[in-house]
Structure 1
Amino acid sequence: MKTARRLCQLTDVPDGHSKGFNIEGQAIFVVHQRGRVFAYRNVCPHLNVPMEWQPDEFLDSDKRMIQCAVHGALFLIESGYCVSGPCTGQSLTTVLCEVRGGDIWITCDSD
């Protein structure tokens, strides 16, 4: 069964930044880019390791792509598709998300 859950206010993730969350044991992160919000599971498809450099740091230095901290693979923010690195052609696992009333909501599996 899918359940919608409120993560935080949109203002908690400034435009051009990212933030990680742990929802009932599921690590995810969101990226706020040019007014849009994207959410993914916090797992690199290559090594199944967390993506961030340090807490809430999922983006490259230009804040144009998601970057894996372990091997530097680069992923498109809009789709999670890997364009550079050992997992080129693979994608991050998307988590459905939307902004409602100034809050970020995700839709995830529930027990």
Structure 2
Amino acid sequence: MDPSAPLCRLDDIDDGGAIAVQVDSSTGGFELILLRQGERVFAYHNECPHAGRRLDYAPGRFLVSDGRLVCAAHGATFRVVDGACLGGPCSNGLAGLPVEVVDGSVRLR
């Protein structure tokens, strides 16, 4: 995994929305959810801590509203800015990774 390689362009993510990106690694890689609020982007593993299922309702499509991400499988709700569990069947928050926006590109920090 090359941390300097861009994950996507900021403009690829609708403001208030989310996309999925694949991150390659020596262990086979993983998928991240990138959520945008204005000029800020937040990244979490696409895995619900409740049951280990993906959070999207269709590949790369997420339920995001009012700064909250909802797990499509069981309805657990997470705060976009920190991944904290706000309700539903979850005892832990989402596993996040630090990202930054550099010259319009979203990159791992």
* TM-score above 0.5: yes
Equivalent residues, number:
105
TM-score (norm 2): 0.86
For residue 52 of structure 1, what is the aligned residue in structure 2? 56
What are the equivalent positions in structure 2 for 1:6-21 lying under 5 Å apart?
6-21=6-21
1:3 positional shift: 3.2
Distance in 1 of aligned mates of 2:98 and 2:31 = 14
Long gaps (5+) in structure 2: none
Q: 2:7 and 2:87 mapped to 1: Cα distance?
A: 30
Match of residue 86, structure 2, among 67, 83, 86: 83
**Runs of at least 5 residues in structure 1 that lack an aligned partner in the other structure:** none
Query: 1:1-111 alignment to 2 at 5 Å?
Result: 3-24=3-24, 25-60=29-64, 62-88=65-91, 90-107=92-109
- What TM-score, normalized by structure 1, do the two folds share? 0.85
Q: Is the 8 A contact 2:63 2:72 kept in 1?
A: no
